[in-house]
Amino acid sequence: MRRKSVLLATIGLIAALLVWRLLTAVLLPAPTGTPYQRLAIGIAALLPAVTVLAAMILAQMAARFSSVVIDPTAGRETRFLLVNQRVISNTVEQLAVFVPALLAFAAHSLPGDMPAIVALGIVFALARLAFWAGYLRAPLFRAPGMAATAGANLAALAAAIWVWLA
């Protein structure tokens, strides 16, 4: 089981890197002269992740309403409700690292780095979708999305530290 998890995680990390590289190559650099303009692009780059989180929350609300499990403390939640709540919680935890790191990277980066920043925001959102879909299938299949998320978080954090120390 552990070997399969490591294999799936490796696949997720490689896929995230390839998607990031592809997006970085096709996105055009925006004319961003000031740190405020770069920060604005960094904030916009977070919109895909926020959209995914909103979809998770809406799915939870709809499932709770349709299953008439209004009270989450009653112990009558379906598997979907339990898994989805864990996905939402984990996504918020991951965003607590990603948001400040991406914004710090964006605020102090060069204008030519903007495609990489936007691509990183998209990859993070895709990673969370992969985590969500995989977890709903079986806990083992959350590994690709989790590894891709970890890669996006570490990349954003390392890039932020790099540009601020350089």
Residue 115: CB partners within 8 Å, gap ≥ 6? 23, 24, 25, 27, 28, 29
Quickly count: other Cβ atoms within 10 Å of residue 71's Cβ: 10
pLDDT range class, residue 151, cuts 50, 70, 90: very high
pLDDT digits (tens, 9 = 90+) for 77-121: 899 999 999 999 999 999 999 999 999 999 988 888 899 999 999
According to CATH, what is the number of the domain 2-165? 1.20.120.550
Q: How many residues does the chain have?
A: 166
Helix (H) or strand (E) holding 25: helix 2-26
Please state the separation of Cα 135 from the chain's center in Å: 15
pTM check: above 0.85:
yes
**Percent of the chain residues past pLDDT 90, beyond the cut:** 76
pLDDT at 68 (0 to 100): 77
pLDDT digits (tens, 9 = 90+) for 40-78: 999 999 999 999 999 999 999 999 888 877 777 777 889
